[in-house]
Amino acid sequence: MDIHSEKIINQQLDRAIRNLRLHQFETSILEKKEHVLPFLEAQIEQGSSVAVGGSMTLAACGVIDWLRTGHVSFIDRYQPGIDVNEAFRRGLSADVFLMSSNAVTLEGELVNTDGTGNRVSALIFGPKKVYVVVGINKLVFTREEAQERIRQKAAPMNCERLDRDTPCRLVGECVDCNVAQRICSANVVLSRSHVPGRIHIVFVKEALGY
């Protein structure tokens, strides 16, 4: 990132963080994705039960591999043969939930679209602590821009990744379909953390995830 881009990004981050803190979210900024694991290791107590929402960001930061090392009690939704819905339900009572966000607005809101809804459910209520790891590519100005980002990038890219039979894979953007394999069922704007500091937004100054 050149110095001019970094200056603008820092200005936007400052605004977002100021508003997130006003809305009772906790925040941190990390310079690189390689800093995510040391940060989480320092934050999460050994032996804690930990669940995750589906996230390319967490995978890119090596978080999933780390969770399997035994430092924590990982509710591994990806384990072969596991009852995924049961893992989702257990995740709602985990000590810690890890996820990313489809978008974060400069006004201090988290905007997410889910299929099953386990991720947004855990974000809103259940786990004692939630860490939301977000690349700067997820930072947007408004809710409307967040929804456009989801429709034009996150939804079609995730459908391609998950090999879903949806129209957005063919046309490259959401067409508000009603097919069986649609992944966009719940649209949630979280404007405030009801419990102060329960939700911790961890910004990484790199592009991460979809």
Q: What's the pLDDT at 25? A: 98
Low-confidence ranges of the chain (pLDDT < 50): none
Q: How far is CA 148 from the centre of its chain?
A: 17
Tokens 């977000």 sit at which residue? 134
Question: If you ran DSSP here, which 8-state letter would residue 15 be given?
Answer: H
Q: What's the pLDDT at 2? A: 83
Q: What's the pLDDT at 1? A: 76
Domain segments of the chain: what residues? 3-204
Instruction: Give strand ranges (E) for the chain.
Output: 26-30, 49-52, 73-74, 96-99, 103-105, 110-114, 129-135, 139-140, 186-190, 199-204
Query: How far is 129 from 46, CA to CA, in rounded Å?
Result: 14
Q: What's the pLDDT at 35? A: 98
User: pLDDT, tens digit, for every residue of 141-186?
Assistant: 999 999 999 999 999 999 999 999 999 998 999 999 999 999 999 9
State which CATH number among 3.40.50.10860, 3.40.50.10420, 3.40.50.450, 3.40.50.300 fits the domain covering 3-204. 3.40.50.10420
